[in-house]
């Protein structure tokens, strides 16, 4: 395929490299990032003009809406807009509707797996859109990731992503609180891990991404909390989840409290650039 890739930051650039390595023709565009190993266009509109697929990986819904307005007018009828950004559900649906009005296909497919997954082609895609559009995107999902789930119509991919990450944010806090309590009770961290990781308290946050250094499989905790997934990004996703909860009338008290705690971590403690599992250091330093 001929592919335009708009947004070549920490996630977009390695995803584009996976497509190039698989033999696709990729033309990229980013107003800031200019990797020298990806062919670049002078504008987003130029990048998409001859593309079968335009992929966007952008910071938020407002930017996506603006970029979509630019690229949709330049895209060929019948081509696909595949958005891999993590944004609000309303923006995803609005962009899909705008694309379809112009005779384009659209899929919203936010990702899970972080920079490592983008680099290694092992991302998980949560996709929303019509069956025909998902079928067009599927061969690209198979290159950039290890799993793609078609969650429903436009916006369903974003809905799945924010629900998943609301669970992740809350369970990471609970895991960190448990380690903080274990410390106070004189319980060895390794002993707690050995029990919880094989008992009813097990979770991805404990078993795979343990926030305590030197315990369990290697994780950012063992590398000074250099982020696999930063606290700033967790806060972004939790705020998206709370916005969706408010607009839909859902009750999410734990999600709401998790948002407040990550806001404190990022905005009061200045730890936004650390991994979100560094929440443990905040809880254990409170004496």
| Region 174-184 average pLDDT | 97
Residues 113 and 166 in one domain: no
pLDDT at 247: 93
Neighbours of 10 (CB within 10 A): 14
Residue 8: pLDDT band with limits 50, 70, 90: very high
CATH number, domain of 145, equals: 3.40.50.720
pLDDT at 169: 98
Q: What are phi and psi of 178, to 5 degrees?
A: -65, -40
Query: CA nearest 57: which of 109, 95, 98?
Result: 109
Please state, in angstroms and as integers, the Cα–Cα distance from residue 225 to each residue in 62, 137, 218, following that order.
Answer: 30, 34, 11
Q: Which of 122, 153, 184 is where one domain is finished?
A: 153
pLDDT at 25: 97
Strand stretches in the chain, DSSP E: 2-6, 25-29, 53-56, 80-83, 105-108, 111-112, 123-129, 145-152
Q: Look over the chain and give the mean of its residue pLDDT values, rounded to a whole number.
A: 96
Residues 148 and 164 in one domain: no
Residues 163 and 140 in one domain: no
- Predicted TM-score (pTM) of this structure: 0.90
Whether residue 28 has pLDDT greater than 90 = yes
| Region 4-16 average pLDDT | 96
Residues 142 and 24 in one domain: yes
Query: CA nearest 41: which of 86, 71, 84?
Result: 71
pLDDT at 113: 87
Please state, in angstroms and as integers, the Cα–Cα distance from residue 268 to each residue in 29, 183, 240, following that order.
Answer: 35, 25, 20
Whether residue 136 has pLDDT greater than 80 = yes
The full length of the chain comes to 287
pLDDT at 285: 80
CATH number, domain of 214, equals: 1.10.1040.10
Q: Which of 102, 136, 153 is where one domain is finished?
A: 153
Task: Report the range of poorest mean pLDDT among 107-116, 261-270, 274-283.
Answer: 107-116
Residues 222 and 251 in one domain: yes
Residue 116: pLDDT band with limits 50, 70, 90: confident
Q: What pLDDT digit, counting tens, does each position of 58-75 carry? A: 999 999 999 999 999 999
Longest CA–CA span in the chain (Å) reads 65
| Region 101-122 average pLDDT | 94
Residues 113 and 181 in one domain: no
**Active-site pick, 147, 161, 184, 286:** 161
Catalytic residue at 184? no
Q: Tell me what percent of the residues of the chain surpass a pLDDT of 70.
A: 99
Residues 46 and 121 in one domain: yes
Neighbours of 85 (CB within 10 A): 27
pLDDT at 287: 54
Q: How far apart are CA 199 and CA 193, in angstroms?
A: 10
Neighbours of 174 (CB within 10 A): 15
Please state, in angstroms and as integers, the Cα–Cα distance from residue 56 to each residue in 21, 145, 274, following that order.
Answer: 19, 16, 26
Residues 121 and 6 in one domain: yes
Q: Count up the domains in the chain and report the number.
A: 2
Which domain does 228 fall in, by range? 159-285
Residues 170 and 77 in one domain: no
Residues 104 and 131 in one domain: yes
Q: What are phi and psi of 82, to 5 degrees?
A: -105, 110
Residues 11 and 81 in one domain: yes
Beta bridge mates, 152: 128
């Amino acid at each position: 395929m001929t592919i335009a890739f708009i947004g070549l930051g920490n996630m977009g650039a390695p995803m584009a490299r996976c497509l190039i390595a698989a033999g696709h023709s990729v033309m990229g565009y980013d107003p800031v990032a200019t990797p020298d190993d990806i062919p670049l266009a002078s504008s987003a509109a130029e990048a998409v003009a001859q593309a079968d697929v335009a992929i966007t990986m952008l910071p938020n819904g407002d930017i996506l809406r603006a970029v979509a307005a630019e690229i949709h007018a330049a895209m060929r009828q019948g081509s696909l807009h595949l958005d891999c950004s993590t944004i609000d559900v309303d923006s995803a649906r609005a962009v899909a509707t705008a694309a379809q009005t112009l005779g384009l296909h659209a899929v919203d497919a936010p990702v899970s797996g972080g920079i490592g997954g983008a680099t290694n082609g092992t991302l998980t895609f949560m996709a929303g859109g019509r069956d025909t559009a998902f079928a067009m995107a599927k061969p690209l999902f198979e290159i950039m990731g290890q799993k793609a789930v078609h969650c429903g119509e436009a916006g369903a991919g974003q809905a799945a992503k924010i629900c998943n990450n609301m669970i992740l944010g809350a369970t990471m806090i609970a895991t960190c609180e448990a380690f903080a309590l274990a410390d106070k009770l004189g319980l060895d961290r390794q002993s707690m891990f050995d029990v919880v990781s094989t008992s009813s308290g097990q979770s991805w946050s404990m078993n795979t991404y343990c926030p305590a250094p030197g315990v369990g499989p290697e994780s950012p905790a063992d590398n000074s909390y250099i982020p696999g997934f930063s606290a700033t990004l967790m806060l972004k996703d939790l705020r998206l989840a709370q916005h969706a909860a408010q607009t839909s009338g859902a009750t999410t008290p734990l999600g709401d409290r998790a948002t407040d705690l990550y806001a404190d971590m990022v905005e009061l403690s200045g730890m936004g650039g650390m991994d979100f599992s560094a929440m443990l250091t905040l809880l254990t330093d409170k004496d």
